[in-house]
Chain A
Amino acid sequence: MTDKLITAAIVVVGVPGVLIGYIWATEQVLRILPERRRPDIRPWLWLAPALAFLALFLVYPMIGTILRSFQDNLGKTFVGLDNFFWFFGSADALSALKNNLLWLIFLTLFVVGFGLLVAVLVDKVKYESFAKSVIFVPLAISMVAAGVIWLYMYQYKPPGAVQTGTLNAAIGVAGLGPVPWLQVEDFSVNTFMLIIVMAWMWTGFAMVIISAALKGINPELMEAARMDGATEWQVFRGIVFPLLVPTLVVVSTTMIITALKAFDVVFTMTSGNLNTNVIANEMYAEMFKFGQYGRASAIAVVLLLAIIPIMFFNIGRFRAQEAVR
């Protein structure tokens, strides 16, 4: 019991104390230095904790992964680009890559689009908190439970039998179906069925961030425009949307990366069968099922390379932001 109390004290008092104490201490240390040198040293002291965390737990394992991608599965022999040639020559890997492209386009469009729509709409109503909570709830559900929920949604019984899946029962009322949403190999929209599950979960994420940015817009700007007779649509197009663009880029970038890394939904709902495989699942299989660490590492490196163009786009945007503020 005392153990728990000590842990609780560390959790509630110790951790924030150490963090605030650190940044206060840096300023005391800087006082020792000549004033001219302080601006050169200060940023690094502020960055140090973050860089230490990232270096130890992300960069260091990633360097190991990059090295492994040039080795065979035992990690002893250097095999050059063989693992990468395997990746781009394997039909499985390429079909996974194609599915990731679908994920990237449709998950991002869906999540950012609906997130923006909901954030803007709820901003105008009295039941904002309630409406946001309804959209947010799926994000609070664990992946396993979400998988179960959607298997109930997509459930399929042969024509004539009583449909227990929500979607088939719903279209059954209109005399349609039943449709094998996520049951047969050659149903070409299987991947979309999984994207819908993920989008259902992540729209709340986009909504919360976009809504926070929306609250940051000076209301006087919008009022002034309304006073001048602008319609709500014109206020949105002319004022709200341009001010939200940086936030939309952040959300889109995050969703593109989430799409590239898509794994949980696929793993829990189809295990990559039914033409729904994605590269993160392929990587998982190579690593934990086949013990092909070299190939798995090569897939991780491909993921890393795929993000480079998006990062350059972000640099350009931050330069532009600094030019105008």
Chain B
Amino acid sequence: MTATSPGLDQAGPEQGWFARQHIGLHTALIVLMVIWAIPTFGLFVNSFRPATDAFGTGWWSALFPPYNFTFENYAHVLGQSNIGTNFLNSLFISIPATVIPIFVAAFAAYAFSWMEFPGRNILFVVVVGLLVVPLQATLIPVLSLFASWGIAGTFLAVWLAHTAYGLPFAIYLLRNFMGSLPREVFESAAIDGASSVTSFFRLALPMSVPAIAALAIFQFLFVWNDLLVALIYISIVNPDNLPLTVSIAGLVTSQGAGAEFLGAAAFISMALPLIVFFGLQRFFVRGIVGGSVKG
């Protein structure tokens, strides 16, 4: 697996080659970024336009005079009576529903990667296979389970459900990452007398930080944007605990009235996931694994 070929043109015009490559690189990236940004940007512009404009003309016409922008859509969404409580509820739901599956999955992934036990591969495949279970098929049995435990409508019920739904992917991703860490690190720790708990907290977890950060972003995002689970497990029993997504969905009636608020609502509810994404970005740094492992 070597990438070097001895006969390579060493004396080539290296400077020029690099420069040319960089123009191509920047062009390709910028084109991709523009393509990816246009749809959202269109909604963003429309979220500042009165309904009649937004439905009558394309969003780009707002970029030319007469500019006709308004904050009314945002004011309407933020003026919803429950929006503060709902925001807090969303936080109370999303933080544990992100933390619990990460820990539980990390324990399991560590066992799957670095402990020997019979049936390990089969069990792992069954766990990952559960990714395919359609959520809709679990709603009614799980709700009756929660009802019989007396926790339907509580935050706890939603934490438990989101943890279970997030686990197959979390275990899959972390098992793949932890399993690719070098064996010597764990062997030499064991020789030095480190217990499994020490190896896990001192070696496996810190070395898996990029994967855990990625996982944290996705799990937070899915829980934050979830409507279905909250509707089924909370709304029927305890409307006080409803998250932001439910009140936003309530802005738009089934006939589509109020669609002009959707853009504003979408950007308000996106703000926090994006802050989480920016906050966790710094954990995607090079050399966390490369630095602590010398083969």
Residues of chain A touching chain B, judged by Cβ–Cβ distance below 8 Å, are: 4, 7-8, 10-12, 15-16, 19-20, 23-24, 26-27, 39-40, 42-44, 46-47, 49-51, 53-54, 56-62, 64-65, 114, 117-118, 121-122, 124-125, 129, 131-145, 148-150, 152-153, 162-166, 169, 200, 203, 205, 208-209, 211-213, 215-220, 225, 228-232, 234-235, 237-239, 242, 246-247, 250, 253-254, 257, 260-261, 263, 280, 283-284, 287, 296-297, 300, 303-304, 306-308, 311-312, 314-315, 318-319, 321-322, 325
**17 contacting pairs across A/B (C-beta < 8 A):** A4-B88, A26-B197, A42-B115, A43-B120, A50-B107, A141-B40, A143-B225, A149-B42, A164-B56, A208-B218, A231-B8, A303-B132, A304-B133, A307-B129, A308-B129, A315-B125, A325-B180
Closest beta carbon of chain B to A276's beta carbon, Å: 18
Q: Does B236 count as interface, using CB distance less than 8 angstroms?
A: no
- Verify B96–A15 contact, CB threshold 8 A: yes
* Residues of chain B lying within 8 A (CB to CB) of residue A312: 125
- Verify A133–B278 contact, CB threshold 8 A: yes
Q: Does B50 count as interface, using CB distance less than 8 angstroms?
A: no
- Verify A50–B92 contact, CB threshold 8 A: no
- Verify B217–A208 contact, CB threshold 8 A: yes
Q: A61-B137, A212-B214, A300-B137 known; 8 other A-B pairs, CB under 8 Å?
A: A7-B92, A47-B112, A58-B168, A142-B270, A166-B60, A215-B287, A218-B289, A239-B1
Q: Complex Cα distance A234/B134, Å? A: 42
Write the chain A residue with the least CB distance to B291: A218
- Verify A208–B214 contact, CB threshold 8 A: yes
- Verify B115–A43 contact, CB threshold 8 A: yes
- Verify A149–B39 contact, CB threshold 8 A: yes
Closest beta carbon of chain B to A251's beta carbon, Å: 9
Q: Complex Cα distance A207/B47, Å? A: 28
* Residues of chain A lying within 8 A (CB to CB) of residue B145: 56-57, 60
Q: Does B257 count as interface, using CB distance less than 8 angstroms?
A: no
* Residues of chain B lying within 8 A (CB to CB) of residue A15: 96, 99-100, 159
Interface size on B, residues (CB 8 A): 123
Given A228-B4, A280-B134: A16 in contact with B103 (beta carbons within 8 A): yes
Closest beta carbon of chain A to B99's beta carbon, Å: 6
Q: Complex Cα distance A67/B289, Å? A: 46
Q: Does B274 count as interface, using CB distance less than 8 angstroms?
A: yes
- Verify B132–A261 contact, CB threshold 8 A: yes
- Verify B3–A23 contact, CB threshold 8 A: no
- Specify which of B28, B197, B263 lies most central, judged by the most chain A CB atoms within 10 Å of its CB: B197
Q: Does B83 count as interface, using CB distance less than 8 angstroms?
A: no
- Verify B115–A39 contact, CB threshold 8 A: yes
Instruction: List the 6 closest pairs (A to B, CB-CB), nearest first.
Output: A238-B3, A57-B164, A145-B266, A218-B290, A228-B4, A212-B210
Closest beta carbon of chain B to A210's beta carbon, Å: 10
- Verify A50–B137 contact, CB threshold 8 A: no
- Verify B165–A129 contact, CB threshold 8 A: no
Q: Which DSSP category, helix, strand, loop or mixed, fits chain A's interface?
A: helix
* Residues of chain B lying within 8 A (CB to CB) of residue A39: 115-116
* Residues of chain A lying within 8 A (CB to CB) of residue B265: 145
Of B95, B168, B217, B245, the residue contacting A12 (CB under 8 A) is B95
Q: Does B29 count as interface, using CB distance less than 8 angstroms?
A: yes
- Verify B165–A314 contact, CB threshold 8 A: no
- Specify which of A60, A142, A232, A253 lies most central, judged by the most chain B CB atoms within 10 Å of its CB: A142
Q: Does B136 count as interface, using CB distance less than 8 angstroms?
A: yes
- Verify A27–B195 contact, CB threshold 8 A: yes
- Specify which of A24, A140, A235 lies most central, judged by the most chain B CB atoms within 10 Å of its CB: A140
Write the chain B residue with the least CB distance to A308: B129
* Residues of chain A lying within 8 A (CB to CB) of residue B40: 137-138, 141, 149
Closest beta carbon of chain A to B127's beta carbon, Å: 6
- Verify B173–A209 contact, CB threshold 8 A: yes
- Verify B160–A43 contact, CB threshold 8 A: no
Of A10, A235, A260, the residue contacting B3 (CB under 8 A) is A235
Task: Give B239-279 interface residues, CB cut-off 8 Å to A.
Answer: 245, 248-249, 252, 259, 262-263, 265-266, 269-270, 273-274, 277-278
Closest beta carbon of chain B to A154's beta carbon, Å: 10
Closest beta carbon of chain A to B52's beta carbon, Å: 13
Task: Give B104-149 interface residues, CB cut-off 8 Å to A.
Answer: 104-105, 107-108, 110-112, 115-117, 120-121, 123-125, 127-134, 136-138, 140-142, 145
- Verify A61–B141 contact, CB threshold 8 A: yes
Q: Does B163 count as interface, using CB distance less than 8 angstroms?
A: yes
